[in-house]
Structure 1
């Protein structure tokens, strides 16, 4: 998240209003803040510096004063907006937080959306998910969501049945689920085959876990339904690794989020931004 900008001399929006109001006041009443107003189109008598006959000066009309004050306020607002935008840009990270050079090197240059899944440690089933989007100024972070991963943690050489989630950078190209498409921009395959039953490792019901899924392109063919069981690396290397609805406990190898978070993720992922997931325990990702 973007932290509030702290400066030695802050200029909040309220200050802009105050300055603009002061400008109007000065232009309409003069520094003295009072005095009678002359009728438009007439002149005011001003004593000369020598004490002689008064000289005549054209009086600024109320309409002209208002116009000038509005122009001054608009110019000040533009300057402040530009200044704030520059400072916000400086605060946005140029690189993805928590990722080391080895991990960053695996993120494709054309990728502008990254789902970072950070495991608590190598053997933990608890993790955090943040969706980042690349802007001209740097990477902008979305909300931070709690998640589950595989029961025994993480592996940089995932094998079928090892109860660990694979570490790495993988594309996100396909989605699906038991329920109707909630507004996904990824191709969405709705199918009754996403039905699941039984209980998880902690006795929790698995029903509804595949209501929404996003396929992680680990050992699968991109551009196909998440239900496609083609395994380019062979069946021994596992597969069927998804981001799916959380059932309240560890997974066999997937990453799971609350159902409302899954809907948000499905609506946010944009194939035009070439999204990927970067996943692993914090120590591994920091390399």
Structure 2
């Protein structure tokens, strides 16, 4: 009898588990950042330029899908973040913090993330020789060439609302890449960012709560850059 009970205790969880290890994506990931909010950006494969962004809440010990939207990725697909090279139009895979939001327009109602309003003096420096590499600057510094920077106000609707993705941000590695954002989608793929429709961008900003430490995971459905690795 004791042996029979032992077998039941081993087999029952497997019998009750969804087939193929199915379940909410965050529960199948190696790491979700330690908070209770998560954004996943999933592409079918490494060469894909489209996919899905989903935002999740952790409630009662389970991850619950809050919303999702069509997504666009880099024109040359996705690549492991630590192997990415600047100027390749690839979206870096990995798990990232979300330092702050910004926009040409005012923050949508309900936005709690720290928000910076774009001015005509706002630039994002991508010059590998600059001390301001991969940073917002108000007024272009002398060591950051304009051709190696984004003049944020010129991006129009795409930067109406956006969130900085913490790729290569805390300790920037020169040549790895700069200016990776979650922003409003344009007509085609991105230069390496993740983009969603304007309405979805506003909903994400109204949902994200810095007290819940939201992170963003970018990856593919399977393979070496699968989201479940992060």
TM value normalised by structure 2: 0.70
What are the superposed Cα offsets for residues 202-229 of structure 1, whole Å, 9 maximum, x if unpaired?
A: xxxxx311111100001114xxxxxxxx
Displacement of 1:138 in angstroms is 0.7
Name the residue aligned to 1:107: 32
What are the superposed Cα offsets for residues 153-178 of structure 1, whole Å, 9 maximum, x if unpaired?
A: 11012110111111100011300110
Dislocated runs of 4+, deviation >6 Å: none
Name the residue aligned to 1:262: 201
Higher relative contact order (Cα pairs below 8 Å, separated by 6+ residues): 2
What are the superposed Cα offsets for residues 61-80 of structure 1, whole Å, 9 maximum, x if unpaired?
A: xxxxxxxxxxxxxxxxxxxx
Q: How does 1:103-252 map to 2 (within 5 A)?
A: 104-109=29-34, 111-156=35-80, 157-183=83-109, 184-192=111-119, 193=122, 194-197=152-155, 207-221=156-170, 232-252=171-191
Measured in 2, the distance between the counterparts of 1:95 and 1:159 equals 34
User: Cα distance 1:216–1:95, how it changes in 2: closer, same or farther (>3 A)?
Assistant: farther
Of structures 1 and 2, the larger Rg is shown by 1
Measured in 1, the distance between the counterparts of 2:228 and 2:173 equals 29
- Structure 2 residue ranges without an equivalent (≥5): 1-16, 123-151
Aligned CA RMSD, in angstroms, stands at 2.3
Name the residue aligned to 1:97: 25
State whether residues 37 and 58 of structure 2, in contact with CA within 8 Å, keep that contact through their aligned partners in structure 1.
Answer: yes
Larger strand proportion, structure 1 or 2? 2
TM value normalised by structure 1: 0.57
- Structure 1 residue ranges without an equivalent (≥5): 1-89, 198-206, 222-231
